[in-house]
Amino acid sequence: MIKIESLKAAIGGKEILKGLDLEIKKGKVHAIMGPNGAGKSTLSKAITGHYEVEITGGDILYKGESITKMEPELRALKGIFMSFQNPVEVPGVTNAYFLREALNAKMEFEGKEPLNPADFLRMAREYCEILGMDPKMLNRSLNVGFSGGEKKRNEILQMLILKPDFIILDEIDSGLDIDALKAVSQGINRLRNADRSFLIITHYSRILEYVKPDYVHILKDGRVTKTGDYSIVKDIEERGYSEIGERL
Amino acid sequence: MSDERKKIEKAVTQDYDLGFSVDIEEEKAPAGLNEEIIVYLSKKKNEPEWMLKKRLQAYKIWKKMKEPHWAHIKYDPIDYQSISYYAAPKKRPKTLEEVDPEILRAYEKLGIPLEEQKQLAGVAVDAVFDSVSVATTFKEKLKEVGIIFCSISEAIRDYPDLVQKYMFSVVPMSDNFFAALNSAVFTDGTFVYVPKGVKCPLELSTYFRINAQNTGQFERTLIIADEGSYVSYNEGCSAPMRDENQLHAAVVELIALKDAHIKYSTIQNWYPGDEKGVGGIYNFVTKRGLCAGERSKISWTQVETGSAITWKYPSCILKGDESVGEFYSVAITTRAQQADTGTKMIHIGKNSSSTIISKGISAMRGQNSYRGQVKIHASASGARNYSECDSLLIGDKCGAHTFPYLESKNASATIEHEATTSKISDEQLFYLRQRGLKEEDAVSMIVHGFCKEVLSNLPMEFAAEAKDLLNLTLEGSVG
């Protein structure tokens, strides 16, 4: 799905990713863990084409195609989705309108007929229920006045509606209470299948109890320093990043 | 989204979508302004003697006045003697069938096929092409309920009592420099009278179009809503591309008697000029409504996207007790456009109330100023005003300015004023683009959200038109 080859990326002239290699397999859930400042968020920004990130070396291949020079919207239309740590507020634009526009953009890109508004609303309401969201939130302005938990659920709602091929969940679990965490995890698990890949970026192991990863990578100082299975999570829990880092 | 794509393709290939001009024979007065020209103009229009006298009186007043320069706009001096004050299509059709096919084609290009409009959803069009009305539709239907909807020229001839009673009663000819000029040389415009208790069954609308090169347009509109009546009037404009600046100085007077309600909506899309502002329309407009009777109401809604210069303050004089004035405005300036626009709410009647919602959007090198006055007279016990002025900036070469003037002579009055300035953030754009929206669509989505409160006040068809216009206007303003 994704092949990252000795990727170097800088933000504001400061090199954050220093030759990162990573392969994310089709149909698999990968988790990236690492201490603060290791470059986790820079990695997700590099994949999605965030304006702050400057790629200074290496390459990112998505489905075999280099995407480092591609417009962010084209990457999105081709199936790359990222849940935001702090989704921005857009006053006056209702959640439902935004979701439908985004879905229609995708449908059009794929040469499909757009969903009619009634069908769309039915689908959106159904997903709201799964996520424990009040369907009234569809009529509110996008993220305006949403609580931290509501924003995160809303990100997952977008994911469910857009059904992307490659999903980056950037700190989706931070600031969530246990109910919200369960609801969010349920949403994620619902989309797991043999064709879809996930990259869960997290500082904590909490969410990985609900969404079991196939692979776990440790990111430290701009590089992937360890790759393994779920057992790494246990290691971190017991000994912390620094010790694992030292051990490596 | 496919419509969206078409629109963008269209905009890429055409710099200004409505920037075409139609070749029609024109009858034109020589350039310059003097008493002879005014007599010529009045004669051409078969006006009664009293109208000519008023015009000459206004001309005398105008000659003594000076062009005002207090607004936050800059432009080269206007040479009033180089303008031709009268142009009319040569053939005067009595029915649609007689209308010059060239004109009809122009309307079709503007998306207002006059022929279809007759059958289409209740929109009656009094089409003003250049200065003279060339076609009026739905007149019979309106006549059935006693509504008069005609050109101001016809009204001067056919309804002199109403015109003499109300014209200049809200905007006196001495009101300001541009109003005085208009009073002397206005060529045509719209007249509406809605009788007592009648709710106008149609949205009335007029499309203005400036066509003759070097011809100033001086529209004059007068709308009278008698006791307990209601009327919604839509004014929409577009102009062909020009190299010279075109002066436009319109006057609109609204009178709402007891329990009457007038809703006046405008979409203004005149040629804004190129990146340097060359060739755009100068739009100096005086619009004012008088809430004469108790519980009368006047609502102004405007979407201002065009013109090189916009100088416009649709206002309400709230004379009647419990009368209501509303002003909803979206003004966009891009390229080198300058807008100084806002409103005046003059509270005289007891418990009169007013609402001002102004949304200014500036992009590229656009300069946008809100200028608003709320004046509470001593007589206006319990008067209330709520004002909200929000500015949205796109890029860092544009500007937004707010000039609120508040004056209250009655301690029981309540005035609230809120103002915000925000910028479309890179993070907002990235968020929407990460969801697959093109940058232009993302900007348009944010802008529409910002303007929602105003756009939702437009009649439905007009709102759709305004939306398209906002998209077109903002294309190319980001990135």
Cβ neighbours of B286 (radius 10 Å)? 24
Contact A72 B437 (CB under 8 A): no
Q: Encoding tokens for residue B403?
A: 């000039």
CA atoms within a 13 Å half-sphere pointing along the CA-CB vector of B316: 35
Cβ distance of A88 and B438 shorter than 8 Å: no
Contact assignment for B452 to A92 by CB distance below 8 Å: yes
Write down the pLDDT at residue B285.
Answer: 92
Closest CA to B7 of B337, B394, B444: B444
Chain-chain contact of A71 with B433 (C-beta, under 8 angstroms): yes
> Which of chain A's residues have a Cβ under 8 Å away from the Cβ of B449?
90-93, 141-142
Of B425, B436, B452, the CB nearest to A102: B436
In terms of DSSP bridges, do strands A14-24 and A2-11 run parallel, antiparallel, or are they unpaired? antiparallel
- Distance between CA atoms of A156 and A160, rounded to whole angstroms? 6
Query: Does A76 contact B433 at a Cβ distance shorter than 8 Å?
Result: yes
Task: For each of the domains in chain A, give its residue range(s) and CATH number, in order of start.
Answer: 2-247 (3.40.50.300)
> Using CB atoms, which residue from A87, A90, A105 is nearest to B436?
A105
Distance (Å, whole) CA B218 – CA B424: 38
* Cα separation, B254 vs B174, whole angstroms: 17
Distance CA B321, CA B284 (A): 31
Q: What is the pLDDT of residue B6?
A: 52
- Is A209 in CB contact (< 8 Å) with chain B? no
Average pLDDT over all residues of chain A: 92
How far is the alpha carbon of A115 from chain B, nearest alpha carbon, in Å? 12
| Site from B426, B435, B450 to mutate, A interface, most A CB atoms within 10 angstroms | B435
8 Å CB contact of A105 and B427: no
Which of A15, A23, A82 is CA-nearest to residue A55? A15
Q: Do A101 and B430 touch (CB under 8 A)?
A: no
Question: Between chains, do B441 and A101 touch, taking CB under 8 Å as contact?
Answer: yes
A51 to B426: CB separation less than 8 angstroms, yes or no: yes
Q: Measured between CA atoms, how close is A144 to chain B, in angstroms?
A: 12
Question: Which residues does chain B have within 8 Å of residue A72's beta carbon, measured at their own beta carbons?
Answer: 430, 433-434
- Chain B residue with CA closest to A95: the answer is B449
Q: Report the chain A residue with the minimal C-alpha distance to residue B428.
A: A88
Decide if A141 touches B, using CB distance below 8 A.
yes
B449:A93 CB<8 A: yes
* pLDDT tens per residue across all 479 residues of chain B: 445 445 444 433 344 455 445 555 556 677 788 998 899 889 888 899 999 999 999 999 999 999 888 888 888 888 888 887 876 554 444 555 555 565 555 556 556 545 443 333 233 445 544 444 434 556 667 888 999 988 888 899 999 999 999 999 999 999 999 999 999 999 888 899 999 999 998 888 765 444 444 345 788 999 999 999 999 998 875 544 444 557 889 999 999 999 999 999 988 877 777 777 777 888 899 999 999 999 999 999 999 887 888 889 999 999 999 999 999 999 888 888 888 889 999 999 999 999 999 999 988 888 888 999 999 999 999 999 999 999 999 888 888 888 999 999 999 999 999 998 888 889 999 999 999 999 989 998 999 999 988 988 888 777 877 777 777 777 766 65
For position A80, what pLDDT does the model report?
98
Distance from CA of A86 to the nearest CA of B (A): 10
Q: Which residues contact A60 (CB under 8 A, 6 or more apart)?
A: A2, A3, A4, A5, A7, A46, A47, A66, A67, A68
Model ipTM? 0.95
Residues near A202 by Cβ (< 8 Å), separated by ≥ 6?
A31, A32, A33, A169, A171, A172, A173, A174, A208
pLDDT tens-digit series, residues A180-228: 899 899 999 999 999 999 999 998 888 999 999 999 999 999 999 999 9
Which has the closest alpha carbon to A131: A208, A184, A191? A184
* Alpha-carbon distance A232 to nearest alpha carbon in chain B (angstroms): 31
A76 and B439 in contact by Cβ < 8 A?
no
Question: What is the predicted pLDDT for the residue at B194?
Answer: 96
- Pairwise CB contact (< 8 Å): A102 & B437: yes
Instruction: Verify whether the Cβ–Cβ distance A108 to B1 is below 8 Å.
Output: yes
How many whole angstroms separate alpha carbon A36 and alpha carbon A182?
Answer: 24
At residue B216, the pLDDT reads 53
Of the candidates B272, B163, B300, which has an alpha carbon nearest to the alpha carbon of residue B221? B163
Which member of A84, A87, A91 has the closest CB to residue B449? A91
Whether B1 sits inside 8 A of A104 (CB atoms) is yes
Task: Give rounded-to-5 percent helix, strand, coil for chain A.
Answer: 40, 30, 30
Residue A232 has pLDDT above 90, yes or no: no
- The neighbouring-strand residues paired with B136 are B126
Interface test with A, best of B431, B439, B443 (most A CBs within 10 A): B431
The per-residue DSSP string of B308-356 comes to SEEEE--EEEE-STT-EEEEEEEEEE-TT-EEEEEEEEEE-STT-EEEE
Instruction: Name every chain A residue with its beta carbon within 8 A of the beta carbon of B2.
Output: 108
Residue entry with tokens 């303007």: B451
Q: Which residues of chain B are within 8 Å of residue A141 when distances are taken between CB atoms? A: 449
* Digit-coded pLDDT (tens) for A95-137: 999 999 999 999 999 999 988 889 999 999 999 999 999 999 9
Mean pLDDT across A12-18: 94
Q: Which of B427, B448, B450 shows the shortest C-beta gap to A88? A: B427
A25-42 residue pLDDT tens:
999 999 999 888 899 999
Helices A117-130/A178-191 angle, 10° precision: 130
Selecting from B2, B434, B451 the residue whose C-beta is nearest the C-beta of A82 gives: B434
Q: Is A98's Cβ below 8 Å from some Cβ in B?
A: yes
In this structure, are residues B376 and B109 in contact, taking their beta carbons and an 8 Å threshold? no
